[in-house]
Amino acid sequence: MKLNLCIDIDGTITEEFYWLDLANKYFGKNIHPSQIKEYDIDKVLGITKEEYLKFYNEHSHSIHLDSKPREFSDLILWHLSNQHNVSYVTSREPKLEEVTKRWFLNYGIPNNDLHMLGSHFKVNKARELDCHIFIEDRYENALEIALAGFDVLLIDTNYNRLPLIPGIIRVYDWLDIYEEVSLYHNRQLQKLIAI
């Protein structure tokens, strides 16, 4: 049996602070990754949401094209794509589809099914895709998705070190993700054999 894996992009496949250098330059700040304890970039930078959105709208292409993938994400994503159904589920706006696909190509990330929601609410998409495991970096998303009954792997970052609830497992890198998915898959197979 194949698993249906839903995988976030920003901060999950990409390094989590991909936006920081450009944002520091633009806003004349000198924020270090260790200072980032929450997800919302405007709060981290001490700016308004409007100021952040103006920056993001002006620079979204270079922010996303220049971001780097996390270590081993490319290799593991190829393995997972060969074994399971992988869908990328991102809050990015649909207008960033071309940039997103170009980035996959530039970094050798497999070009799987892509869902650009333009919203952080991912529960309905998880239902539609009959998701077995959702891989995320945003704490609020992880809670929402787990509370809706899906299993979540939360990739560890400074800004998501908060108490977890049943259904969420904290993972530390892509090797860890591969191991957890394999364990989950084995458990599912055991259940099928037991029937």
190: left (phi over 0), alpha (psi -120 to 50) or beta: alpha
| Nearest-approach distance from CB 191 to Mg ion, in angstroms | 30
Residue 65 or 189 with smaller CB distance to Mg ion: 65
Using CB under 5 A as the binding rule, whether residue 15 contacts Mg ion is answered as: no
Neighbours of 14 (CB within 10 A): 22
Q: Nearer Cβ to Mg ion, position 93 or 191?
A: 93
Please report whether residue 8 would count as binding Mg ion according to CB under 5 A: yes
- Minimum distance from CB of 99 to Mg ion (Å)? 16
Between 170 and 185, name the residue whose CB sits nearer to Mg ion.
Answer: 170
User: Among 8-16, 75-83, 126-134, 153-161, which window interacts with Mg ion (CB under 5 A)?
Assistant: 8-16
Q: Which is nearer to Mg ion, 22 or 83 (CB)?
A: 22
With respect to Mg ion, which residue has the nearer C-beta, 41 or 181?
A: 41
Q: How far is the CB of 56 from Mg ion (least distance, A)?
A: 14
3-class secondary structure per residue, the chain: CCCEEEECCCCCCECCCCCHHHHHHHHCCCCCHHHCCCCCHHHHHCCCHHHHHHHHHHHHHHHHHHCCECCCHHHHHHHHHHHCEEEEEECCCHHHHHHHHHHHHHCCCCCCEEEECCCCCCHHHHHHCCCCEEEECCHHHHHHHHHCCCEEEEECCHHHCCCCCCCEEEECCHHHHHHHHHHHHHHHHHHHHHC
> Does 69 engage in binding with Mg ion (CB under 5 A)?
no
Least Å from the CB of residue 188 to Mg ion: 26
Of the two residues 97 and 189, which places its CB atom closer to Mg ion in the complex? 97
Indicate which single residue of 5, 11, 69, 126 sits in contact with Mg ion (rule: CB under 5 A).
11
By the 8 A CB rule, do 36 and 159 touch?
Answer: yes
Q: Report residue 132 as tokens.
A: 């077995």
Q: Which residues, 137 to 156, sit near Mg ion by CB under 5 A? A: 137-138
Site residues for Mg ion, 86-145, by CB under 5 A, read 137-138
- List contacts with Mg ion (CB under 5 A): 8, 10-11, 137-138
